[in-house]
Amino acid sequence: MNDAVAIPVDRESQASRGDHEALRLWLRLLTCTSLMEASVRAELRRDFDCTLPRFDLMAQLERHPEGLRMGELSRRLMVTGGNVTGITDQLVREGLVTRAAPPDDRRAFVVRLTPAGRRQFERMAESHEAWVVRLVGGLAAPERRQLFELLGRLKRSVNRARSH
């Protein structure tokens, strides 16, 4: 058994002939995402001592300099509100984001990147994009475009099925 070569054992590789194709599609999708996520997570940790959820939250804020409310972060990151509370708490403690009370709604908070947060995010974002480019670089540009298009259709299909 040679460890220098990637071991092709994962959920999807083991699907048996009897499995229907929808299931195999799902397992392969899951495998791709898991592999990429593990890779990105490891590099983010190694080079910046940062976790993926923190990076994702900061990425949303970077796109919205005016700030986002907790609930909007929750929707965009597709995680529950309680979770956003926890991660935001940490980032506030570390001085990377601020929680401000908007004048018009005392229930809400607006989260924004601090200058330090923005600087740190920008350092990470550059590496992050390079990693992702490398991971998908084995596909030719037309293949990537086609995959992007098909995933768009899949997304619509899933959203339709989910909304009954």
Partner DNA sequence: TCTGAATAGATGAGGCCTGAAATGATCGGC
Partner DNA sequence: GCCGATCATTTCAGGCCTCATCTATTCAGA
Of 2 and 18, CB closest to DNA: 2
Residue 108 is a binding residue for DNA (CB under 7 A): yes
Backbone angles phi, psi at 20, to 5 degrees: -80, 160
- Is residue 29 within the footprint of a copy of itself (CB under 8 A)? yes
Q: Which of residues 33-92 bind a copy of itself (CB under 8 A)?
A: 33-39, 56, 59-60, 63, 72, 75-78
Minimum CB separation of residue 53 from a copy of itself in Å reads: 12
Neighbour-count burial of 22, counting CB atoms closer than 10 A to its CB (0-12 exposed, 13-18 middle, 19+ buried): exposed
How many positions of this chain bind DNA (CB under 7 A)? 35
Residue 101 partner contact from a copy of itself, DNA, none using kind-dependent CB cut-offs of 5 to 8 Å: none
Helix H segments across 69-114? Answer: 70-77, 81-93
Instruction: Give the E-state strand segments of the chain in sequence order.
Output: 68-69, 97-100, 110-113
CB of 159 to a copy of itself, least distance (A): 4
State how far the Cα of 84 lies from the Cα of 54, in Å rounded to an integer. 10
> Which region among 71-79, 117-125, 133-141, 147-155 touches DNA (by CB under 7 A)?
71-79
Site for DNA in 110-129 (CB under 7 A): 110
Which pair of structure tokens corresponds to residue 74?
A: 């929750």
